[in-house]
A = this chain, B = another copy of it.
Amino acid sequence: MSLLVVGSIALDSVATPFGQTADAPGGSAVFFAAAGCLLHPVQVVGVIGSDYPLGVLKQLESRGVDLTGVEQVEGESFRWKAKYSYDLSSRETLDTRLGVFAHFRPKIPAAFQQAKYVFLGNIDPGLQLGVLDQVTEPDLVACDTMNYWINSKKDLLLELLRHIDILMVNDTEAREISGDWNIYRAAHWILEHGPQRVVIKQGEHGALLVDKETTFKVPAYPLQEVFDPTGAGDAFAGGFMAYVASVKNVSTASLRRAMVHGAAMGSFSVEAFGIEGFDKVTLSDVRARVRAFKDLVHFELD
């Protein structure tokens, strides 16, 4: 019952008030895998240039990440440079160089095509549809996107919505795709366009899981020190999907637990730069944090 992620593999240069990184491994597939592999093996499909530092990917391999689907091609790797505001509430992209990522056409290796749990990271919705053509019978497909595709490829995105189970976006994206500022109406707009469920990531305010009948809210874990918000949403997705893959259960109760595992991974992610937050996290740390979420919202009815 394997778990597949298709997404970007980047080199991030990020400045926050607490420090900075230069060409640190990042991208949606990397954050997803670094978080997810704590709970379940992860198969990655992506592309890197000839300049990509393979050491870090090898480290992920030793933690259960299968890199068979990572293609290395001649050229520069995808690079992204950004600077966060003093309170981390906003960021400015200083430079985006797509490099070999501009020509990324995901090829799913034969060994990955039976993946039961599939996460489509934020790439061109046409490519995301192309991935779905290559996987045979997935049990759960979740998908991210971004404002760029909402604005430039809305039709393809709407087509994609008809073929996925969960759209997993942040609150701004949910508002943009639906044209509705009320986040619950936005969620229901999305549900009317295909997916059975929508996950809305709200950064420091946690995340929502909405289906036609119910809403589940997981808060963000209370952290007095946040170093780098980059990748938290993809780490959330990694925790969510890897939890589902680990229990082989897509019931509502299971997906609620998946939300909490996602939120736990998001919290580990922001506690350090890039994917460094996952270097020392153990399964027992994850379980302790999930229990802490239980206490965070616990109250008894009269």
Residues of A within 8 A of B (CB): 86-87, 89, 181-185, 188, 202, 204-206, 208, 214-219, 222-226, 247, 253, 256-257, 259-260, 290-291, 294-302
Contact = CB atoms under 8 A, between A and B. Distances in A.
14 contacts: A87-B182, A182-B226, A183-B204, A184-B222, A184-B223, A188-B224, A206-B219, A214-B295, A216-B297, A217-B219, A218-B299, A219-B219, A247-B302, A297-B297
Contact of A301 (B87, B218, B223, B291): B291
The 6 closest A-B pairs by CB, nearest first: A87-B181, A256-B299, A297-B297, A217-B219, A205-B205, A215-B222
A204 B181 CA distance: 12
A205 B299 CA distance: 18
A299 B257 contact: yes
B297 A218 contact: yes
A299 B253 contact: yes
Given A253-B299, A257-B299, 8 more contacts: A205-B205, A206-B219, A208-B222, A216-B297, A216-B299, A253-B300, A259-B299, A297-B297
Q: Is the interface of A mostly helix, strand, loop or mixed?
A: mixed
A257 B302 contact: yes
- Count of this chain's copies in the oligomeric assembly: 2
B256 A296 contact: no
A222 B211 CA distance: 13
Nearest to A216: B296
Nearest to A185: B224
A260 B223 CA distance: 22
Contacts of A205: 202, 205
B297 A217 contact: yes
A218 B302 CA distance: 16
Contacts of A218: 297, 299
Contacts of A206: 219
A218 to B, nearest CB: 7
Contact of A184 (B87, B185, B216, B224): B224
Contacts of A223: 182, 184
Nearest to A301: B294
Contact of A224 (B182, B216, B253): B182
Given A296-B217, A301-B290, A86 B181 contact: yes
Nearest to A255: B299
A253 B149 CA distance: 46
A259 B17 CA distance: 34
A302 B296 CA distance: 17
A239 B178 CA distance: 34
A216 B297 CA distance: 6
A193 B220 CA distance: 26
Contacts of A208: 222
A199 to B, nearest CB: 14
